[in-house]
Structure 1
């Protein structure tokens, strides 16, 4: 999701961020339960949001496509244009 389209509704006070190496990618976790809530990838700007952190019916609003992650660098273009996503 593009950063300008992302709004957190609650819970920012219990999130913590993990980075490594260059510090570009941001892994954002809940300090209480440990769920990996958000990810700010180094490959493209924006947020990857864990479905489990959305409202209960949110999954039905998305098309889920398989993604071969072993060679993700060669397949990241298959993710498509995030500018047309809405939640």
Structure 2
């Protein structure tokens, strides 16, 4: 079995943010801009493309919010560096 270290491609999960940006770029090319931190989505252009007429009551919406929700979402979108691999020698009834 080949040893996988933290820098090998097999140890990295898919980049969900890049995939989402690629899908948005395919649907709405005008949304994507290049900023100092790389590729970004222009939210104002998105609002214009979906017909949003300057949202004035944005604070009056229902939702489920808690302290740390934004950080949890950021952590969920970061690529993982762990990989689960089978270990046939330590398994029970591996051949079945």
Common topology (TM > 0.5): no
Bigger-Rg structure (1/2)? 2
TM-score normalized by structure 1? Answer: 0.25
More strand by share: 1
More helix by share: 2
